[in-house]
Structure 1
Amino acid sequence: MILKHMEFLFVLQYFIPLITPEVAVEKELKNFQCSLYSSKAMNCSWLPANQTADDLQLYYWYPGESHKTACSDYKPRASEKIGCRLRGDFLEHDVYFLFNGTLNGLSVQKTFRVCPVHYVKPPAPRVKITEEGKDLLLSWDPPDLAAHHCWVYILNYSMCRESLSKEIQYKYDNVAVYVPYDLRCQYRVQVKAVYKKSCGAGGSDWSDVELYGVEDLNFDWLMTVFAILIPAAVGLFILLCLCCFMKHREKLFPKIPQPSLILKDMLNSNKEQKSFVGNLYVPAVEEMECKISLEKDSTLLLMQPDP
């Protein structure tokens, strides 16, 4: 019995150094995750527990390599390390990670294996909106990660309170989409890049909302004002035209006699002309008496010269 008890203590003493680091590292950090945001860059983060080793270090290496590279760019929070920015060729290889440190005098170690292509998370696209003719050109640059055929883009935009969504796959350096442009509407555009399952997994966050065009509320207010003012102005113009017409209608549209009256007047005038020609007026001959008397002019006698 004593021999069996001693064997149990021997076995327990043998396994304590192997179990203790595992328990210690679980208490030291949790929720370890990585995201590949570029073809040559990856971010890894974790949440520290209540007790954290002061000399905690993160190492990484590729399968088949013996050399381990230490993280040189930690993300701090207060006095704790909560992440690491890594540089390397992560798109084609899996990556091993090793946490190493000392907690309460005990050496703690934990190893992780990550396949970066299943944790792709590039920065959100930046949408540009330009007006071209009767359309709007929506464009953005594809992520700097993997081939263009590995990306699918979800485009959400709204116009005049109508929401639309499109799934777009583009194989060129710049993604461009044309949508009809309505001057009455304000456009709100968002884009998200999704990594295809045939290439891996992951995707970006939604981009910031880009606005273009007049605001819908202002447009509704202007339309209401126009709907009131334009009919009122047209009605006032018509009323003024009617008043002007009534005042000057005799000048603008003189009275035209009826054709029957014109014909009747012509017939009457012809009859009067015939009767006047048949009874011509012959004036009576008046007799006038003229008396002529001759008198001598004394002035002529005085003006005669002497013989």
Structure 2
Amino acid sequence: MAFSCEADRLPPPTGLSYEWLDNFTINISWQKPITKVDHCDILYEVQQGEDMRFRTESTNITKTCMTEELDSTGCKYTIRTVGKELKCDRTESEAVTIPIDTRVPRAELVKDFKCVIYPRKMNCSWIPVNPSLNLTVHYRFNEVKEGYKLPLKSCEELYSNGKRNGCYLKDAFTNQDIYMLVRSEAGQTTFKAFYVFPSPKMNITEEGNHLKLTWTRPEHGKSCSWKYEVCYRECNGPRECRNFTAEEEPLLVPYNKRCLYEFEYKATISNYCSKIPSDSTEALTYGTNAPPDGTLTVVAIVIPVILCVCVILSCYCFRRHRAIICPVIPDPSAIFKEMIMNGNKELKAKSNLYTPVPEPIEPCKVTLVPENSVLQQNS
């Protein structure tokens, strides 16, 4: 078995240092290893962040470093000595890391910074972290001409619409990066501008039992391929999302005329153009929340109530006038039985039949008259 020893490793680079060339650019330099390396051609492997690696024969590099990356691994550089293939049998050296710091204190001044692309200019806006601070906004294109970098420009036509502040960048295009510099008394921050296209206008029309969704593309990016994601709610129900491309048929959504629909959408340019999303949009509403049809409810409640009331009244009336509605009829068998047992038909008939009340009769008085008496005529 062979054991690797320290003598088998290449010596690391020494004297690492850095210098800020401007607010966005840093130059990192180092010296060759102190120990002389005989019969071995060496290179330097530079690792930026976690994954990005490259090799160089030079002892200095110039890179872009934004202050928003200082808290992550974006501006972390690690350098080691390596041998050229087939010309060096020694392993790579230990890694040497150089810490990077800013010339001006780093401060978080803005959030949700984005630039909407229009012909010949950009509308950049942001949300200030501390509205009481006075901010100055500058920018520079990532372009170098014969070793000369373009100077900083001031963001023009500053405005504020309440929640968001903004300004305009002239002669800005999406084929190059734009570096932003925002300053205040508390410090500064640098970052790359985030591009968005103006949101395509969505049109909503009724077509039978569906809502037809179509879009009007903005002038910038009109010839590009667009993809859409549409999310909507029906009658405050669950959120449903659908994806489609503008080249397909218009999006049809089943429509309930008694519901309020709330639409949110975002679009992305793809395929033939740079992959740039559209600006965020506010929710669009269509229709109205009408109260549900109560006819069936009324029928289902009122009719049973009326029937119950009618049944109760019918029972009450039947019970109150039961003698009239259903009179008691004597049992004929009982009458015949009594007649046979007693043998007195008249008595039984009298006791069972109707007996009229006798009418009052005045008594008649008769007086005897003697034969020799003279009849007197009463006048």
Q: TM-score range by the shorter chain?
A: 0.3 to 0.5
Q: Which has the higher contact order (CA 8 A, sep 6+)?
A: 1
TM-score computed with the length of structure 2 as normaliser: 0.40
The structure whose residues are more often strand, as a share, is: 2
The structure whose residues are more often helix, as a share, is: 1
